[in-house]
Structure 1
Amino acid sequence: MSHANAALTPRARLRLAQLVVDRGWSYTAAAKMFMVSPRTARKWSDRYRGEGPAGMADRSSRPMTSPAKTPPHAVRRIVRLRWRHRLGPIQIAGLLAMPASTVHAVLTRCRINRLSRIDRVTGEPLRRYEHPHPGSLIHVDVTKFANIPDGGGHKFLDRRASKSNARATAHRTGKRGNNYRPAIGTAYVHTVIDDHSRLAYAEIHSDEKAATAIGVLQRAVAWLADHGVATERVLSDNGSAYKSHAWRDACTELGITHKRTRPYRPQTNGKIERFHRTMAEGWAYARLYESTEQRNTTLPAWLHFYNHHRAHSALGGRPPVTRLTNLPVHHN
């Protein structure tokens, strides 16, 4: 298709060329009629003589040769420095004695001009994926948050006040650690997130054992089924709970295919890792909680907000529930 400022469309070029070739018009007369230069009229007429109507189509404006193009060996050196050492255009240009603008152009052409697009471990461009429909793959994992002493912890209080609260809590509960230090404990949040819709489910427990993880999976699958989502696969890391025979048998009983990430590759499970960060910022450390119980009671409300109201950047600014097109309320 012709560009917006083209004087002639392919149809008009054909008419112009036919006037010259088939009817014997002069280049000047045909050019005047179509308000172009005689040189242009001659160009299209020559193409019509040699190729017929097919010659009226647009051609690439790319030159046949590019003498000033960066040679392949220089491109390889630029890419190698970017991948292996995470250097910027100016640093690479200084090492290779070439303009920084040339280096930046090469990095942009190779789609590695932003370090956020490069895997930190391998240096390879990130390969993002998304499964085609809800339930095709769910991610499971466990994240840990320290329990909160009575009155609040160090996230919002100064160290002296938080230590005083910890001692008071330990005196009440009787839990002590090494050297008689207060043992506040840890909250293990078992999380499940659907790969396609980003719909999230979470439960708080006191451990991350296989029996606990299996119970969370069973309840999460049932919860997703209530939302019209049939779970097909589950992706986990290589934690002991997910490598157990009990987990394998539970997945078989549920009719779910279990997949594990490659060791030392948390990026494969990146969607749920990012969800953990969102959970920490939006729920766990969002405000001052005066006890662990107070924080725990707010989790269901926050999950509802995340699933039904929070704009998700990966979903075009829409909440996860909008991707569940099979919900009955969507057809009322």
Structure 2
Amino acid sequence: MSKQKVIVLAVRNQGLSVADAARRYGVSRRWVHELLRREATGGIAAVEPRSKRPLSNPRRTDDVVTARILALRQELQTAGLDAGPVTIAWHLERENLPAPSTSTIRRILHAAHLITPEPKKRPRTSLHRFEAHQPNETWQSDFTHWPLADGTDTEILNFLDDHSRYLLACTAYRPVTVIAVVTTFLTAAAEYGLPASTLTDNGMVYTTRLAGGKGGRNAFEHQLHTLGITQKNGSPSHPQTQGKIERFHQTLKKWLDGQPRAHTLEDLNEQLGKFRHIYNHERPHRALDRRTPATAYTATPKAEPVGARQGDHWRQRIDRVDRFGKLTLRHAGRLHHIGIGRAHAGKHILMLIHDTDVIISDTATATGEIIRELTIDPDRDYQSRQRKTPRS
């Protein structure tokens, strides 16, 4: 029985005066009178302790905002996008709705049973984060697998700016080859400028440094060396070095899981184009202080490789060596014939051209073997294999 009930019954049933009851139970006479008033108007149950919760709360989240928070959670999860409190707050602000604090949004989601507790993770204080200071200071690259509707495996090649998380390229291949890496890299460089450095794992499409010295540089390594770009590779069996792009693959696959399964490579690349726009322009990033990658990428000046020739001067061409072991290339309006050798007749090759400098790679080999390098002599129609530089 509560103390309030005891006081009332002592006065009503035992004949104690108000002063005696107040003295015995250590309360004021005013409080005894208030309890007797409540009992007289509402019965003995009315004297029970009441909630101390205020009748109104000026900081209470508006019902409209609460409903929109719950709706956004569902919409973002259905679309395969991040649906955490930070992202929800960002979307509320874009819709000109008052965004509560992220802790308030989290409480609303908890109350609606929309948050599933996760196992304890490694504390953030134990992690050492490395981030480039400028856009284009470092591009990370890697690829991940994704099946088509019929189970056919594809490989999605990505280039991600380390500073801003801007997704520079996201293209599906079957499979990813050295030539795919080179052409994707040059396409991105033509649009965004050359990076000062790249960071990748030690896959053969990126480097042959762990191949026991066989074959020399591959086409990607050669291209970076020619452009004056620093190439960085993570330590073997240590994927944390490429942690940003490894984490990005989780975001990409979560979004793809929310889409209809693509039937063809073309369908998948169409989906990836849509995802790239959403990721860069419509999705705030927690590590970027709730900015989008596009905002972060354009906020500061871009880094450049020292003394490098910029990507928009480079062009590329896929061709086939004719039966006489030759290729053709038009330069300054004049057609030139390039000797490759009959041993390469019929091969599909990649030509990377910068002004008069040409690098020719075999597209059929795993490492994109360099077949020939030359500088076009504008005074000669035929560029023989014996002459690699113009006559002085």
TM-score by length of 2: 0.41
* Larger strand proportion of the pair: 2
User: Which structure: larger Rg?
Assistant: 2
Query: As a proportion of its length, which structure holds more helix?
Result: 1
Query: Normalising to structure 1: TM-score of the pair?
Result: 0.48
